[in-house]
Chains A and B, each alone.
Chain A
Amino acid sequence: MALLTSRNAAAGGKLLRCAAAAAIPTIRQLSSSASTITVETSVPFTGHRIDPPSRSVETTSEELMSFFRDMALMRRMEIAADSLYKAKLIRGFCHLYDGQEAVAVGMEAAITKKDCIITAYRDHCIFLGRGGTLLESFAELMGRKDGCSRGKGGSMHFYKKEGGFYGGHGIVGAQVPLGCGIALAQKYRNDENVTFALYGDGAANQGQLFEALNMSALMDLPAILVCENNHYGMGTAEWRAAKSPSYYKRGDYVPGLKVDGMDALAVKQACSFAKQYALKNGPIILEMDTYRYHGHSMSDPGSTYRTREEITGIRQERDPIERVRKLLLAHDIANEKELKDIEKEVRKEVDDAIAKAKESPMPDPSELFTNIYVKGFGSESFGADRKEVRATLP
Chain B
Amino acid sequence: MALRKFGRLSLISRIGKRDFSIASTSEGLIEKADSKSINLFTAVNQALHIALETDSRSYVFGEDVSFGGVFRCTTGLAERFGKKRVFNTPLCEQGIVGFAIGLAAMGNRAIAEIQFADYIFPAFDQIVNEAAKFRYRSGNQFNCGGLTIRAPYGAVGHGGHYHSQSPEAFFCHVPGIKVVIPRSPQQAKGLLLSSIRDPNPVVFFEPKWLYRLAVEEVPEDDYMLPLSEAEVIREGSDITLVGWGAQLSVMEQACIEAEKDGISCELIDLKTLIPWDKETVVASVRKTGRLLVSHEAPITAGFGAEISASIIERCFLQLEAPVARVCGLDTPFPLVFEPFYMPTKNKRMISFPKGSVLRTKVHPHLAISPPLPAEMPPLFLPPKNKKVVGTKLGFS
Residues of B within 8 A of A91 (CB): 157-158, 160, 335-336
Q: Is B91 an interface residue (CB 8 A)?
A: yes
What are the nearest 4 A-B pairs in CB distance?
Answer: A385-B360, A170-B162, A91-B158, A143-B336
List the B residue with the shortest CB-CB distance to A367.
B337
Task: Give the distance to chain A from B385, nearest Cβ to Cβ, in Å.
Answer: 12
* B158 adjacent to A372 (CB under 8 Å): no
Choose from A152, A206, A366 the contact partner of B91 (Cβ within 8 Å).
A206
A364 to B119 CA separation, bound complex (whole angstroms): 30
List the B residue with the shortest CB-CB distance to A368.
B337
List the A residue with the shortest CB-CB distance to B328.
A384
Residues of A within 8 A of B376 (CB): 364-366
Choose from A202, A361, A384 the contact partner of B362 (Cβ within 8 Å).
A384
Can you spell out 30 A-B residue pairs with CB atoms less than 8 angstroms apart?
Answer: A91-B158, A91-B160, A91-B336, A143-B336, A172-B91, A202-B91, A207-B94, A233-B91, A234-B63, A235-B64, A236-B63, A236-B90, A236-B91, A304-B67, A362-B336, A365-B364, A365-B376, A366-B377, A368-B329, A368-B340, A368-B341, A369-B329, A382-B330, A383-B380, A385-B359, A386-B325, A388-B383, A389-B383, A391-B377, A394-B377
- Residue of B89, B341, B347, B380 contacting most chain A CB atoms (<10 Å): B380
* A391 adjacent to B380 (CB under 8 Å): yes
* B336 adjacent to A369 (CB under 8 Å): no
Choose from A241, A384, A391 the contact partner of B90 (Cβ within 8 Å).
A241
Q: Is B343 an interface residue (CB 8 A)?
A: yes
List the A residue with the shortest CB-CB distance to B337.
A368
Q: How many contacts between A and B, using CB within 8 angstroms? A: 154
* A93 adjacent to B159 (CB under 8 Å): yes
Residues of B within 8 A of A366 (CB): 376-377, 379
Which of A153-161, A252-260, A267-275 lies at the binding interface? A153-161
Q: Is A327 an interface residue (CB 8 A)?
A: no
* B67 adjacent to A143 (CB under 8 Å): no
Q: Is B370 an interface residue (CB 8 A)?
A: yes
* A154 adjacent to B335 (CB under 8 Å): yes
Q: Is B7 an interface residue (CB 8 A)?
A: no
- Interface residues of A, CB < 8 Å — how many? 50
Residues of B within 8 A of A387 (CB): 322
* A388 adjacent to B326 (CB under 8 Å): no
* A241 adjacent to B91 (CB under 8 Å): yes
Q: Is the interface of A mostly helix, strand, loop or mixed?
A: loop
Q: Is A337 an interface residue (CB 8 A)?
A: no
Residues of B within 8 A of A382 (CB): 299-300, 329-330
A205 to B89 CA separation, bound complex (whole angstroms): 10
Choose from B91, B119, B159, B364 the contact partner of A203 (Cβ within 8 Å).
B91
Residues of B within 8 A of A93 (CB): 159-160, 162-163
Q: Do A384 and B377 contact each other (CB < 8 Å), given the known contacts A92-B335, A151-B336, A362-B368?
A: no
Residues of B within 8 A of A362 (CB): 336, 368, 370, 372
Within 8 A of A (CB), among B232-257: none
* B299 adjacent to A236 (CB under 8 Å): no
- Residue of B64, B364, B381 contacting most chain A CB atoms (<10 Å): B64
* B90 adjacent to A153 (CB under 8 Å): no
A237 to B299 CA separation, bound complex (whole angstroms): 41
Q: Do A389 and B380 contact each other (CB < 8 Å), given the known contacts A207-B92, A234-B63?
A: yes
Q: Is B331 an interface residue (CB 8 A)?
A: yes
Q: Is A208 an interface residue (CB 8 A)?
A: yes
Q: Is B365 an interface residue (CB 8 A)?
A: yes
Task: Give the distance to chain B from A199, nearest Cβ to Cβ, in Å.
Answer: 10
B 189-225 to A, binary, CB cutoff 8 A, 1 in contact else 0 = 0000000000000000000000000000000000000
Task: Give the distance to chain B from A263, nearest Cβ to Cβ, in Å.
Answer: 27
* A305 adjacent to B331 (CB under 8 Å): no
A 199-213 to B, binary, CB cutoff 8 A, 1 in contact else 0 = 000110111100000
Choose from A151, A205, A305, A386 the contact partner of B92 (Cβ within 8 Å).
A205
Q: Is B327 an interface residue (CB 8 A)?
A: yes
Q: Is A25 an interface residue (CB 8 A)?
A: no
Residues of A within 8 A of B329 (CB): 368-369, 381-384
- Interface residues of B, CB < 8 Å — how many? 57
Q: Which residues of B contact A (CB under 8 A)?
A: 63-64, 67, 70, 88-92, 94-95, 118-119, 121-122, 157-163, 299-300, 322, 324-327, 329-332, 334-337, 340-341, 343, 347, 359-360, 362, 364-365, 368, 370, 372-373, 376-377, 379-383
* B347 adjacent to A384 (CB under 8 Å): yes
List the A residue with the shortest CB-CB distance to B304.
A386
- Residue of A93, A304, A364, A365 contacting most chain B CB atoms (<10 Å): A365
A171 to B347 CA separation, bound complex (whole angstroms): 31
Choose from A143, A236, A385, A386 the contact partner of B88 (Cβ within 8 Å).
A236
Residues of B within 8 A of A203 (CB): 91
* B91 adjacent to A389 (CB under 8 Å): no
* A92 adjacent to B383 (CB under 8 Å): no
Residues of A within 8 A of B322 (CB): 387
List the A residue with the shortest CB-CB distance to B360.
A385
Residues of B within 8 A of A92 (CB): 158-160, 163, 335
Residues of B within 8 A of A157 (CB): 161
* B91 adjacent to A235 (CB under 8 Å): no
A372 to B330 CA separation, bound complex (whole angstroms): 9
* B160 adjacent to A156 (CB under 8 Å): yes
A172 to B119 CA separation, bound complex (whole angstroms): 9
List the B residue with the shortest CB-CB distance to A209.
B92
A101 to B340 CA separation, bound complex (whole angstroms): 37
Other than the given A153-B335, A382-B329, A389-B360, 19 more pairs (CB < 8 A) read A92-B163, A93-B159, A153-B161, A154-B161, A154-B336, A171-B118, A171-B162, A205-B92, A207-B95, A234-B64, A241-B89, A304-B67, A369-B329, A384-B326, A386-B325, A386-B327, A389-B381, A389-B382, A394-B377
List the A residue with the shortest CB-CB distance to B299.
A386
Residues of B within 8 A of A153 (CB): 161, 335
* B331 adjacent to A385 (CB under 8 Å): no
* A365 adjacent to B368 (CB under 8 Å): yes
Q: Do A152 and B340 contact each other (CB < 8 Å), given the known contacts A365-B379, A368-B329, A385-B362?
A: no
Task: Give the distance to chain B from A211, nearest Cβ to Cβ, in Å.
Answer: 11
Residues of A within 8 A of B63 (CB): 234, 236
- Residue of A91, A152, A386, A391 contacting most chain B CB atoms (<10 Å): A386
Q: Is A242 an interface residue (CB 8 A)?
A: yes
Within 8 A of B (CB), among A351-394: 361-369, 372, 381-389, 391, 394
Task: Give the distance to chain A from B101, nearest Cβ to Cβ, in Å.
Answer: 15
Residues of B within 8 A of A222 (CB): none
A186 to B159 CA separation, bound complex (whole angstroms): 35
List the A residue with the shortest CB-CB distance to B370.
A362
Within 8 A of B (CB), among A300-319: 304-305
